[in-house]
Amino acid sequence: MGIDSALHEIRRLDDLASQDTCLHRLDARAKVLATLFFLVSMLSLGRYEVARLLPFACFPLLLAVQGRVPLGLLFKRAALALPFVLFVGLFNPLIDRTVQLHLGPLAVTGGMLSFTSIMLRSLLAVTTGLVLVGITGFDQICRALGRLGMPTALLVQLQFLYRYLFVLADEALRMLQARAQRCAKNSRPSLREYRALLGSLLLRTLDRAGRIHQAMLCRGFDGQMPDLRPTTAFGPAEWRFCAVWGLFLVAIRVLDLPLYLGAKAGGLIP
């Protein structure tokens, strides 16, 4: 991914996070905890489970709709995250060839089932993570983790990185554009050019760190970033959110909802 598209993607999610819906107003801790619970309950299903993964799609889907996160963006990102999972997962159908069930004339092997399962898991995990950012925002997630016990040094580090990521990436982008304008062909830098590019970016980075430190001292930095939003409390709305999703997730983890529905539907057919 190029720097400009990466920056664009980050800003896009950031814009989504600055919306004002009932989900955005919830305390970030509730959303973070619900997401973690979702991941653990979803990923703890057995490796041949396909149908039972499907009800879990409710969580990212409903939250995305309620929090006005466009589904197209989620699927596009999920597709970008696939290569490594695809690479590892592709071996399953090749290695595990025991026939597990027959769908009409098609014999489904265990490997095919587990491969489908891996793809579904990836889709669900990736979209859920993105939805969390889209309805919460990076800064709020970090603060929530801080209030849940993450060390302050790491919290400040995350906030600093997020603040200067744009500055540094812009700087790198300007250097690349200047190079592209001078060298008249749109090729990747050679090793020599790369050394010069990255070296001077590194020098600028170090200088910038010095200037930031001076500015921080002038403004009385006390080891923590000031919070610009009012701190939210874990109130009734948060408890309700956690309780509803918690019960739902426990229910679909324990009960085989698709099998039950399938049996009921099958019973209707004479």
- Nearest distance in Å: CB 65, another protein: 19
The span from the CA of 193 to the CA of 197, in Å, is 6
Does the footprint of another protein cover residue 9 (CB under 8 A)?
Answer: yes
In contact, 3 and 169? CB cutoff 8 Å: yes
Q: Which of 106, 184, 191, 269 binds another protein (CB under 8 A)?
A: 191
* End-to-end Cα distance, the chain: 55
In contact, 224 and 152? CB cutoff 8 Å: yes
- Nearest distance in Å: CB 125, another protein: 4
The span from the CA of 104 to the CA of 136, in Å, is 46
- Nearest distance in Å: CB 85, another protein: 5
Name residues whose C-beta falls within 8 Å of residue 38's C-beta, 6 or more positions apart in sequence. Answer: 56, 59, 128, 245, 249
Which residues, numbered 204-263, are part of the site for another protein (CB under 8 A)? 205-206, 208-209, 212-213, 216, 221, 223, 256, 259
CB under 8 A: which stretch of 21-29, 56-64, 171-179, 244-252 binds another protein?
Answer: 171-179
Which residues, numbered 65-104, are part of the site for another protein (CB under 8 A)? 77-78, 80-81, 84-85, 88-89, 91-92, 95-96, 98-102
Which residues, numbered 119-158, are part of the site for another protein (CB under 8 A)? 119, 121-122, 125-126, 128-130, 132-133, 138, 141, 150-154, 156-158
Does the footprint of another protein cover residue 17 (CB under 8 A)?
Answer: no
The span from the CA of 163 to the CA of 160, in Å, is 5
Element (H, E) at 149: none
The contacts found for 5-8 with CB under 8 angstroms, 24 or more apart, are: 6/169, 7/166, 7/169, 7/170, 7/173
Cβ proximity to another protein, 154 vs 233, nearer residue: 154
Cβ proximity to another protein, 160 vs 237, nearer residue: 160
In the shown chain, the binding pattern of residues 23 to 62 toward another protein, with x for contact by CB under 8 A and - for none, equals: ------------xx--xx--xx-xxxx--x----------
